[in-house]
Each structure stands twice: as C-alpha cells, then as structure tokens.
Chain A
Amino acid sequence: MDEEQPQIGVWVRIKSIGEHTLVLLLILLSIWLVRRALEALFGGNAKLFKAVPIEYITDFADCLALMKYLWALIKEFRR
C-alpha cells in the first residue's frame, strides 16, 4: 500500500503539469493573436510615439505567462 502512494502522486503531478502546459500553449497562442492584431492596427515594428516598440506589451505578457507556468511547476514539485 505504501509503495503505491508515490505512483498515484506522480500521475496526479503529471496530469497537473500537463494541464498547465496545455493552458500555457493556449495562452501563448492568444498572445500571438493579440500581437498580430496590434501589428494590423499600428503596422509591423511600430513604436509608440516613435520611442518605445508597441510589441513590448505582448513581450511582457509572454514573460508573465511563462513566470506563472514556472511558479505552478515549482508549487507542484513542492507539494
């Protein structure tokens, strides 16, 4: 009985990581769509007020999504 418990834990962990990975891919796809929309609105490589690239908005969103994913992984392995 004691030997089976870690097996169940591993599968629960793999399922949770799989869900987070799938959602991360969906979110990255959503951010890419936002990026394309911004490009259509302002043009490719456009800079806001000719000073700061507009694509930084989606770059920041990518970073946030990856950080949340990493945080979820850390929490999963500390469980």
Chain B
Amino acid sequence: MKAIVKLYLNYLELILIGMLVAALAITLVAGLLAGGIALLPALLANTTIIAIGLITLGRRKALGEHPEIKTKPFKEFRLFMLVRKSKIILVAVLVLVTLGTTYSTNRLLMNQAIASSGMGVSATFFNNALIINVLEISPGDKGNPYQVTAVLYSNGYPVANIENQSVGYETTYIGRDRFIVRIVEVTNIYAKFFVERIADGKD
C-alpha cells in the first residue's frame, strides 16, 4: 500500500508540474493569438515560464548536494524549495498573479462579442441570450453616412428599440442578462454591434 501511495505521489508531482507548465504555455499562445487585453496575461505567463526555467537550471547541482531527495516523494518540489527563499516567493507570486489575471481576462472576453445583422438576418449573442434584428438602414448625416433602426430582445423578455442611430451609439438592455450594446459599424447592407454581458445569471 505504501509503495502504491509513493508511486501515486510520484505520478501526481509530474502531472501537477505538467498542468502548470501547460496552463502557462496555453496562456502565452492564446494571449498572443487573441491580442489586445489578452497580451497582459501572455506576457506574465512568458515571464513566469522564464523564471521557473532559470530556477530549474540549478536542479542538478541541488540534487548533487542532496542525493537523499532522489528517493523521497515530491522530489522536484523539494529541489525547488532548496533554492533561495526570495526566488521561490517571486515565482509563487508570479504564478498566482498570472493565473488570476488569466482567469479575469478570460471572463471579461467571454462576456464580450461582436456580430453583424442585416435585413432579415439576426445577430445572436451568447447562445441566443440576446438577439438583434435590423429593421432599417437609412441615410444619415455628413459624419455618419448610415443610421440603423433595430430591435433587441431576449426570448420571453420585453423588446427594446434602437431608432435611427449611428456608429458610437450605446444603450443598455436588460433581458435574460444585462447587456451593454454599442453600434460599431453601419454600412448600407448591415450593422455591426459590440455587446458586453454585465451579469451572466441564469433565468
């Protein structure tokens, strides 16, 4: 039984390190692909990977000085703890800040969407939590060549209207969730809307 527990801890350590490194690598790649605000967690992930790599370089030396660790569970973590305390705290803080920033940025991006709607073609957001139907696109003034008239609704909730508004117009709609809706582009055939979900409660 003791041997199995020791073997399980051996596997577990590898898996924990692997998942941490995978999470950092995925944050880096996804952040670079997404761009914008996601670049911050990507930069933090990159810094954390480099910091962990630099500390790991001293692993072999530490193992040479403390060969008894080789047979103990959580060998890698024990070797890591032999490094200077200030460095460990730095890496721990970096890991926590990176994971926290990644979570909050991901949550923010998950609640933002852009979609277009034309005559007879609805724009749907967040799995039909909000639907926008463009009713009319009319000529506007000099600065804004087109204006849009549209209806916003969630199934089972009151309808709200956007009447003859152009790029930059912003309104709040409360349906299944609470949404901020902004017009980001209007052409003669479609209008593009940016939607941010403020409260994502279920009905």
Contact = CB atoms under 8 A, between A and B. Distances in A.
Q: Which of A22, A27, A43, A46 has the most CB of B within 10 A?
A: A27
B189 interface: no
B11 A49 contact: no
A42 B199 CA distance: 15
Contacts of A56: 22, 26
Interface string A61-75: 100110010000000
Contacts of A48: 26-27, 30, 102, 106
Interface residues on A, range: 20 to 34
A52 B18 contact: no
Interface residues on B, range: 20 to 34
A23 B4 contact: yes
A78 to B, nearest CB: 18
B110 interface: yes
Main secondary structure of the interface of A (DSSP, over half): helix
A58 B19 contact: yes
A58 to B, nearest CB: 7
Contacts of A24: 11
A32 to B, nearest CB: 12
Given A31-B15, A61-B15, A50 B109 contact: yes
Given A19-B4, A19-B7, A49 B105 contact: yes
A58 B29 CA distance: 16
Given A49-B106, A54-B26, 10 more contacts: A19-B4, A20-B7, A48-B30, A49-B34, A51-B29, A52-B33, A61-B18, A61-B22, A64-B15, A68-B11
11 contacts: A19-B7, A27-B11, A30-B12, A30-B15, A42-B106, A50-B34, A51-B29, A57-B23, A61-B18, A65-B11, A65-B14
Contacts of B18: 60-61, 64
